[in-house]
């Protein structure tokens, strides 16, 4: 080559630098509630307690302790309620908060799933812009909602079909013969709904990647570089689809899912990571083997890998959680009842809390009245578990809970005030000091005299079958809107905003509640009683020390790493962080 040509070529290289840009790497994460991710940010510290996982925590946090924000990783996260009726898309740079979001799918929450460390380690290894598209909904199965097109119509296993055929009139869990067509129609209607939502969202994002990822270069395009599947709990517990622990159908369905995802996204060799469900650790062997099985199929060799998440299960948290349950039961119960419904005075945990004021709760007179809903807007057409509600009260009773309200014409008597027979948990309540009456709603008031307020903490002790409002000196201090079949006195610890309404001298305590009601059942039963208790700082220390026999300091430390139940991997960031990293490593292995 002549010198002038060499010089010209050199100048062109300087003036027109070679572009080293690459297609945008796109990763898809999908599944049910564990892919959503229920690990609270508050459990991050626990990761640093273990020398094996402490390095993970350094990757997840900034020097000031705040969650890291990935500069080169962008998220599009589609989630919503179980039925998908209010789906929303969360967008932004990857950081903590792209986990479970409850009823606010577009807003960052306080949780992470595997996406956080997956993106962190992908960014660390690839050193280039990354787009993660995540779709996840709780309570969705592969056999129905995530069922992919080539899997065919849902059919009952022969073993279950034979059992159904033996019971044409139906039985427990078996529909009647005339109901079975509707059952199948409902199953068909639900089949594949969330698979389609997932695929449609991915296609929508990829139609305009720059909307989510500003670093996207349309000239370079994008590359579907991996798919991570973390799901399985609803299939694990589905004995109808998988009778006698035979999960071979799950293997078949997952193989179809992999094929269909690749086909529908035009990515025939896209790396696919199976996050093998590790709930309960090394248990559930049959299901875990079935879930991992597609990775061993010849057609998927080299581009499908199964990552077992069981090794990340935390046995220390697992051992502590039942103790936490026992502890919560103790501190959440102010007073227990014996089998005959009378107060149990022998329970050792009760001696530390003292009733506030005179006379003692069992000696107090209550004034009470019952009313029914009379206005159409307040009535219920059918039973509803969340049926506790406010109703329009009779004229003149609007301020019934105020201290100066005249309740002299109401019925007077001792509490508990009850009706019917409340029989549950080996306890029977039927001999009540005062009878509730015919009305569905009960309003009750009492007074007590307080001579000192020398306690460190205060709580309400309350016996109630359904929801309730509690008022102290005309101020509402607590509302409970659910129901419970627990014939014990619950413990509701009061905060400063509630305690400020307690005073020396005369106090008025008022409670509003309803009985158990169902149009389908003539059985009505309920009971209501309440008082305020206090505990001194000295007695609180004694109680805490006594409770260490139930929940030790070591157990408490372990439980700082948990924020949820076992089927969500305890809501432990330590577990989810390890999973995300393992998924990234498996995906990278297939990309090389």
Name the packing angle between helices 573-591 and 115-126 (round to 10°): 40
pLDDT of residue 518: 59
pLDDT band (50, 70, 90) for residue 524: confident
pLDDT of residue 9: 42
pLDDT digits (tens, 9 = 90+) for 391-429: 999 999 999 999 999 999 999 999 999 999 999 999 999
- Residue 192 pLDDT > 70, yes or no? yes
pLDDT band (50, 70, 90) for residue 565: confident
DSSP 248-304: HHHHHHHHHHHHHHHHHTT-TT--EEEEE--TTTT--HHHHHHHHGGGGSGGGTTTE
pLDDT of residue 44: 98
Average pLDDT for 13-23: 55
pLDDT of residue 202: 98
What residues contact 261, with CB distance under 8 A and at least 6 apart? 148, 199, 227, 270, 272
pLDDT band (50, 70, 90) for residue 316: very high
pLDDT top residue among 516 and 539: 539
CA dist 524 and 396 (Å) reads 28
Burial status of residue 407 (CB atoms within 10 A of its CB: 0-12, 13-18, 19 or more): buried
- Residue 519 pLDDT > 70, yes or no? no
CA dist 90 and 106 (Å) reads 4
Average pLDDT for 121-142: 98
DSSP 351-371: GGSEE-SBS-GGG--EEEEEE
Find the range with the poorest average confidence among 262-271, 316-325, 373-382, 450-459.
373-382
- Residue 117 pLDDT > 70, yes or no? yes
CA dist 77 and 322 (Å) reads 34
For residue 389, give both structure tokens.
């509600």
| Cβ pair 209, 26 in contact under 8 A | yes
CA dist 377 and 367 (Å) reads 28
Element (H, E) at 226: strand 222-230
| SS3 label, residue 121 | helix
Neighbours of 80 (CB within 10 A): 22
Which residue has 């033996």 as its token pair?
166
pLDDT of residue 530: 98
| SS3 label, residue 171 | strand
pLDDT top residue among 188 and 386: 188
CA dist 421 and 424 (Å) reads 10
Q: Where are the domains of the chain?
A: 25-149+192-314+562-591, 155-190, 325-547
- Per-chain mean pLDDT for the chain: 93
pLDDT of residue 355: 97
pLDDT of residue 102: 87
How far is the first Cα of the chain from the last one, in angstroms, to the nearest whole number? 38
Residues facing 448 on adjacent strands? 507
pLDDT of residue 172: 86
Compute CA distances 577 → 158, 489, 591, whole Å.
Answer: 41, 40, 21
Neighbours of 586 (CB within 10 A): 22
pLDDT of residue 275: 98
pLDDT band (50, 70, 90) for residue 484: confident
CA dist 207 and 80 (Å) reads 22
pLDDT digits (tens, 9 = 90+) for 333-377: 999 999 999 999 999 999 999 999 999 999 999 999 999 888 888
Burial status of residue 213 (CB atoms within 10 A of its CB: 0-12, 13-18, 19 or more): buried
Burial status of residue 144 (CB atoms within 10 A of its CB: 0-12, 13-18, 19 or more): buried
Average pLDDT for 233-258: 98
Find the range with the poorest average confidence among 40-49, 50-59, 197-206, 520-529.
520-529
CA dist 38 and 302 (Å) reads 31
pLDDT of residue 521: 56
Compute CA distances 492 → 264, 402, 427, 460, whole Å.
Answer: 53, 22, 22, 5
Name the packing angle between helices 315-331 and 537-547 (round to 10°): 140
CA dist 418 and 42 (Å) reads 43
pLDDT of residue 16: 41
Average pLDDT for 458-464: 97
pLDDT band (50, 70, 90) for residue 11: very low
With CA atoms as reference, report the closest residue to 126 among 24, 19, 230. 24
CA dist 4 and 251 (Å) reads 66
CA dist 174 and 329 (Å) reads 36
Q: In degrees, to the nearest 5, what angle opens at C-alpha 293 toward C-alphas 288 and 294?
A: 130
pLDDT band (50, 70, 90) for residue 287: very high
What residues contact 174, with CB distance under 8 A and at least 6 apart? 163, 164, 167
Average pLDDT for 164-171: 93
- Residue 17 pLDDT > 60, yes or no? no
Q: What is the CATH number of domain 25-149+192-314+562-591?
A: 3.40.50.1110
Average pLDDT for 433-454: 95
- Residue 18 pLDDT > 50, yes or no? no
| Cβ pair 434, 364 in contact under 8 A | no
With CA atoms as reference, report the closest residue to 309 among 568, 41, 36. 568
CA dist 27 and 130 (Å) reads 8
pLDDT of residue 103: 86
pLDDT top residue among 481 and 65: 65
| SS3 label, residue 403 | coil
What is the pTM (predicted TM-score) of this model? 0.81
pLDDT digits (tens, 9 = 90+) for 90-106: 999 999 999 999 889 99
pLDDT of residue 376: 85
Cis ω before 359 (30° cut-off from 0): yes
CATH T-level fold of 325-547:
Jelly Rolls (2.60.120)
| Cβ pair 91, 42 in contact under 8 A | no
- Residue 7 pLDDT > 60, yes or no? no
DSSP 539-555: HHHHHHHHHTTTS-HHH
Average pLDDT for 482-509: 95
């Amino acid at each position: 080559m002549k010198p002038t040509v060499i010089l010209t070529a050199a100048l062109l290289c300087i003036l027109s630098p070679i572009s080293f840009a690459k297609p945008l790497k796109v990763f898809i994460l999908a599944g049910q509630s564990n892919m959503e991710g229920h690990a609270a940010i508050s459990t991050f510290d626990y990761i640093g307690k273990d020398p094996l996982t402490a390095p993970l925590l350094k990757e997840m946090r900034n020097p000031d302790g705040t969650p890291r924000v990935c500069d080169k990783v962008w998220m599009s996260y589609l989630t919503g309620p179980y039925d998908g009726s209010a789906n929303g898309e969360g967008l932004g740079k990857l950081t903590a908060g792209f986990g479970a979001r409850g009823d606010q799918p577009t807003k960052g929450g306080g949780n992470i799933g595997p996406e956080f460390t997956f993106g962190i380690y992908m960014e660390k290894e690839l050193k280039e812009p990354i787009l993660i598209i995540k779709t996840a909904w709780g309570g969705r199965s592969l056999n129905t909602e995530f069922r992919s097109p080539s899997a065919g119509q849902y059919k009952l296993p022969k073993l279950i079909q034979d059992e159904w055929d033996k019971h044409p009139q139906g039985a427990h869990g078996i529909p009647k013969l005339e109901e079975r067509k509707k059952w199948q129609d409902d199953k068909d209607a639900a089949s594949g709904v969330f698979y389609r939502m997932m695929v449609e969202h991915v296609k929508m994002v990829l139609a305009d990647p720059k909307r989510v990822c500003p670093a996207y270069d349309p000239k370079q395009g994008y590359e579907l570089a991996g798919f991570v599947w973390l799901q399985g709990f609803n299939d694990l517990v589905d004995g109808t689809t998988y009778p006698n622990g035979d999960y071979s159908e799950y293997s078949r369905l997952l193989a179809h899912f992999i094929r269909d995802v690749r086909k529908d996204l035009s990515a025939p060799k896209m790396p696919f990571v199976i996050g093998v469900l590790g709930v309960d650790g090394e248990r559930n062997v049959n299901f875990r083997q079935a879930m991992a099985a597609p990775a061993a199929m010849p057609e998927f060799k080299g581009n499908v890998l199964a990552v077992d998440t069981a090794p990340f299960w935390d046995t220390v948290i697992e051992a502590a959680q039942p103790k936490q349950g026992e502890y919560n039961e103790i501190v959440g119960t102010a007073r227990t009842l014996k089998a005959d419904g009378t107060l149990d005075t022998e329970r050792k945990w009760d001696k530390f809390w003292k009733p506030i004021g005179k006379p003692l709760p069992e000696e107090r007179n209550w004034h009470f009245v019952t009313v029914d809903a009379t206005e159409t807007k307040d009535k219920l057409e059918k039973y509803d578990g969340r049926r506790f509600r406010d109703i329009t009260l009779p004229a003149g009773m609007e301020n019934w809970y105020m201290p100066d309200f005249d309740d002299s014409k109401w019925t007077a008597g001792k509490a508990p005030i009850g009706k019917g027979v409340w029989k549950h948990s080996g306890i029977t309540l039927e001999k009540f000091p005062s009878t509730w009456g015919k009305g569905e709603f009960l309003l009750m008031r009492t007074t007590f005299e307080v001579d000192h307020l020398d306690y460190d903490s205060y709580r309400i002790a309350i016996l109630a079958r359904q929801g309730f409002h509690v008022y102290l000196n005309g101020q509402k201090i607590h509302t409970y809107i659910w129901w419970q079949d627990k014939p014990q006195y619950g413990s509701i610890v009061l905060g400063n905003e509630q305690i400020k309404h307690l005073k020396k001298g005369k106090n008025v305590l008022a409670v509003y509640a309803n009985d158990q009601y169902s149009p389908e059942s003539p059985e009505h039963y309920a009971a209501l009683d309440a008082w305020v208790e206090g505990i001194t700082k000295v007695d609180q220390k004694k109680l805490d020390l006594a409770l260490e026999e139930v929940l030790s300091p070591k157990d408490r430390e372990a439980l700082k790493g948990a924020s949820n139940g076992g089927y969500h991997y305890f809501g432990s960031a330590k577990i989810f962080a390890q999973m995300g990293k393992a998924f990234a490593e498996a995906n990278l292995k297939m990309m090389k």
